[in-house]
């Protein structure tokens, strides 16, 4: 079982904030603060950081008061700049490639962007929070689908086998080899083989670190 992570939740709906808190504490994680807007989020993180107790991850809703537009996203981008060690997971009612691009600018370590609905799959969601807290990536399948769908490299992607495409999608979502293997019900070795095939076919350099691998794939898809 994963060890506990320390979380701040920024979500303006009290109902949802309490739901998220409960969901995470039930699974042994610690919710250090819950806030309702972007300003409060920035303030709380700075205070905690000043006291030497920077949390592992922030879970923030994109749309919060007062402007109800993209407060959460802007706060998240700012936090990523100011605290590289802090994981940031952004939740949104809609998944937009543009938001993902802004959030992922520069690096894919310790960052996540998920559709709000994903909280319904409790295990997957908590996995994503933990992954981001530990410097990994969690990208919503819809974002990945959008990236795959509009990639100019469609011809090259066509060379991949359906299995390899599936692995590529899961990899772009930020999942580890183990997680991909479990989801596809194959062995870790089989996944590794698929991944090396994919990297070979796309002409990418292999990389061990998961988040660097995600970055390579995303950069490739967006170029």
In the complex, the residues that contact other proteins under the rule CB under 8 A are 63, 69-70, 93-94, 96-99, 117, 120, 146, 149-150, 154
Range 178-190 burial, b when 16+ CB lie within 10 A, else e: ebbbeeeeeeeeb
| For other proteins, the closer CB: 149 or 178 | 149
Smallest gap from residue 63 Cβ to other proteins (A): 7
Smallest gap from residue 75 Cβ to other proteins (A): 14
Q: What is the dihedral of CA 42, 48, 51, 53, to 10 degrees?
A: -140
The CB density around residue 201, as the number of other CB atoms within 10 Å, is 15
The residue among 136, 218, 202 whose CA lies nearest residue 175 is 136
Angle at 184 between CA 183 and CA 188, to 5 degrees: 90
| For other proteins, the closer CB: 132 or 147 | 147
The residue among 31, 94, 99 whose CA lies nearest residue 59 is 31
Smallest gap from residue 95 Cβ to other proteins (A): 9
| For other proteins, the closer CB: 96 or 192 | 96
Smallest gap from residue 138 Cβ to other proteins (A): 18
| For other proteins, the closer CB: 56 or 70 | 70
């Amino acid at each position: 079982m994963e060890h506990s992570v320390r979380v701040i939740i920024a979500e303006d709906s009290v109902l949802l904030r309490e739901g998220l808190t409960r969901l995470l504490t039930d699974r042994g994680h610690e919710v250090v603060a819950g806030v309702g807007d972007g300003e409060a989020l920035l303030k709380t993180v700075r205070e905690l950081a000043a006291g030497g107790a920077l949390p592992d991850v922030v879970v923030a809703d994109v749309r919060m008061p007062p402007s109800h537009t993209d407060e959460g996203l802007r706060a998240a981008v700012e936090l990523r700049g100011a605290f590289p060690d802090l994981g940031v997971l952004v939740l949104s009612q809609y998944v937009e490639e543009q938001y993902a691009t802004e959030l992922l600018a520069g690096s894919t370590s310790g960052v996540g962007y998920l559709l709000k609905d994903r909280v319904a799959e409790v295990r997957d969601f908590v996995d994503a929070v933990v992954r981001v807290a530990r410097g990994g990536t969690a990208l919503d399948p819809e974002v990945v689908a959008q990236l795959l769908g509009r990639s100019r490299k469609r011809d090259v992607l066509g060379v991949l086998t359906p299995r390899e495409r599936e692995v590529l999608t899961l990899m772009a979502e930020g999942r580890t080899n183990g997680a991909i293997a479990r989801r596809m019900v194959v062995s870790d070795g089989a996944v590794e083989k698929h991944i090396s095939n994919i990297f070979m076919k796309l002409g990418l350099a292999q990389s061990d670190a998961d988040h660097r691998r995600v970055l390579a794939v995303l950069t490739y898809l967006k170029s």
